[in-house]
Structure 1
C-alpha cells in the first residue's frame, strides 16, 4: 500500500534526543525539531506540543511513525504494545510511548526500534537497496542493531538486541553494561569509551589506541553477524562512527578474524558489505516514515 496522505508525523526517539518532523511521501521535511530526552512526561509533552502546533498551522496528518530506543514491546496482541520496557534509562521503563502519542494526536501509530526502522529505510532508499539480509548498527549513547530480511524487520520473541552480543574485551578493559558488562554496548558505546579512556570519545586524537580497541570490538560483532545472518549489508552509523577511517579499521580486523572462512561471490568482499549509512544521519528519521508504509501494507 503506497503512502497517499499529504503529510506524516515522524519521531526518532533516542536516549539523548527526540527528533520530530513533519514529512511528505517524497521524503521532504517541512518542519523539524530536536528535543532533549529528559523525563517521559516532559519529553512527550514537548513532542505533542510540536505536532499540535503544526496541525494548527495546516500540517494535518493521520499517521505517525515512531523509531524508538528500546527495548520495546512489539507484540501487537499485548496490552502494552508500543511501550518501552526494561531500558537502562530507568525513568522510561514501562512508558506507553505509542499509546500516549496516538491518543494525544488522534492518529494511527506505526512503531519499531530505531535500528529496525533505520535498517528498513536503508533497505528502501539507502545503502541496503536490493539486499535480502540487511543489518543496521548504531554506535552512540548505546549500541543497537536492527535486521531486515526480505524487506521485513525481524522481531521474534522481542526484537534483535545486537548491542548486547557478548564479545571478548580488549586487554585491560572492562565493559560498563549493567546487565552484561562485556557486551558490545558495554565496550563500544560513547559512555563506555569515556569511562574506559577518561575523556569523551570525540576528544580522542585519531592515533589514540582507543580507536583500535573499538575496531576490535566492532570487528568481533561483524564476524558474528556474518556467520549468523550471512548479511549482504552491515551498515554502521551513529555519532561514535563519525571518526574518519574507523569503518576501514573494522573491515580489516573482521577480515582477519574470519580468516577466509566465508567464500564470497566474485567481485564481493567485506568492503562491499560493511559500510556507512547511505542516508547519512537521516536513517532513523526516515526509518519512522518507512514504518508507516510497511505497517500499512
Structure 2
C-alpha cells in the first residue's frame, strides 16, 4: 500500500493538517479551528482516520504553538505547558494524538518546524546555521544547526529577547518591558499606535521603528549564532520595503564589526521565506519523516 506521512501545523487560530507523500508533496489538506483541546483534537483525529483509506500512515509530525515540553525523558513530553492561549495550558498534545492514531508522533515548536523546512528545502538549504523568525500576532524564532532543531533546556524563545528599543516605543509584553515581541509584533504595534498595523500608512514612523527593532534582533542573532541565513516571515513582514530596511538597519547597527566572507552580503543572510505559507507544514512533515527513519522504519 502507499505510504503517507501526517503533518500538523498547530496554531492559535487553526490546526493546518495534511497528508504528504514521501517526497513531501501535499496530497490532501484541511484546516480545523483551534477552539478547545477536546473539540479540536477530536476533529483532527477524525480527519486523519478518514485519510487512512489512502494508504499507510507512517508517522505524524507536529509543529505547534507553545510553550512545549520537548524533553523526551519528561513525563510531560509533547505537552503544551503554560500558554496564554485560553483552555490549552497543560494539554497532552502528543500523547493524545499518538494514542488515538497509533502511529509514531514527533513534535517541535511551530517556528522550529518552519526553520527546519527552510533549512532543508528553502532559503537556508545546505547551510549550517539557519534561523527562522516570524513577525505576526507575536514574534517567534526557531534555530536549526547542522540539520537539527535547537532545544536545550526548553526551546528558543527569540521573540522575548531583550533589546534597547526606542524612546517613542513602550513595550506591550506582559512579561518583559523591552522584548522584541512587546515592541514589534502586530499585536504590539496595534496597541502602540492605536490602530491595526496593516492600516498604518507607508510613511508612518511606525515602520521605521519596526525595522529598527527587528534590526536590533538581527544584530544579536548575528553575534550569538553566526547564522548563515536568517529567514524573516510572518504577516507584518508583508509590508513593502520593510525587509530591505531591516537589512539596512542591521548593517548600520553592526557598524562594520563583522567581516563577512567576500562572497556574502547582508542581503544574502537576511532573507524572506522561500516556502511561503507552507514552511510550518513542511517542517512538520520533515519531523515525521526524520523520526520514522530514526525508528528504523
Unaligned runs of 5+ residues in structure 1 are none
Aligned partner of 2:155 in structure 1 is 159
User: What CA deviation, in whole Å up to 9, does each residue of 1:215-260 have, x standing for no partner?
Assistant: 1111000000000011110001111111121110100001000000
From the superposition, tell whether residues 128 and 267 of structure 1 become closer, same or farther in structure 2 (CA, over 3 Å): same
Runs of 4+ in 1 over 6 A off after TM superposition: none
Aligned partner of 2:221 in structure 1 is 225
How far apart, in 1, do the equivalents of 2:55 and 2:203 lie? 48
How far apart, in 1, do the equivalents of 2:180 and 2:79 lie? 24
Q: Secondary structure at 1:136's aligned position in 2?
A: strand
Q: 1:47 aligns with which of 41, 44, 48?
A: 44
How far apart, in 2, do the equivalents of 1:49 and 1:193 lie? 38
Q: Secondary structure at 1:70's aligned position in 2?
A: coil
Is 1:27–2:24 an aligned residue pair? yes
- The answer (yes or no) to whether the contact 2:2–2:55 under 8 Å persists in 1 is no
How far apart, in 1, do the equivalents of 2:176 and 2:33 lie? 27
How far apart, in 1, do the equivalents of 2:6 and 2:276 lie? 20
Unaligned runs of 5+ residues in structure 2 are none
- The answer (yes or no) to whether the contact 1:15–1:141 under 8 Å persists in 2 is no
How far apart, in 2, do the equivalents of 1:175 and 1:51 lie? 41
How far apart, in 1, do the equivalents of 2:134 and 2:70 lie? 20
Is 1:245–2:203 an aligned residue pair? no
- The answer (yes or no) to whether the contact 1:8–1:24 under 8 Å persists in 2 is yes
**1:1-297 mapped onto 2 (5 Å cutoff):** 6-55=3-52, 57-295=53-291, 296-297=293-294
Q: TM-score, normalised by structure 2?
A: 0.94
- The answer (yes or no) to whether the contact 2:3–2:58 under 8 Å persists in 1 is no
From the superposition, tell whether residues 207 and 36 of structure 1 become closer, same or farther in structure 2 (CA, over 3 Å): farther
How far apart, in 2, do the equivalents of 1:231 and 1:254 lie? 14
After superposition, the CA RMSD in angstroms is 1.5
Q: TM-score, normalised by structure 1?
A: 0.94
Q: Secondary structure at 1:92's aligned position in 2?
A: coil
User: What CA deviation, in whole Å up to 9, does each residue of 1:46-101 have, x standing for no partner?
Assistant: 2222212222x434313100001111101001110001112222421111111111
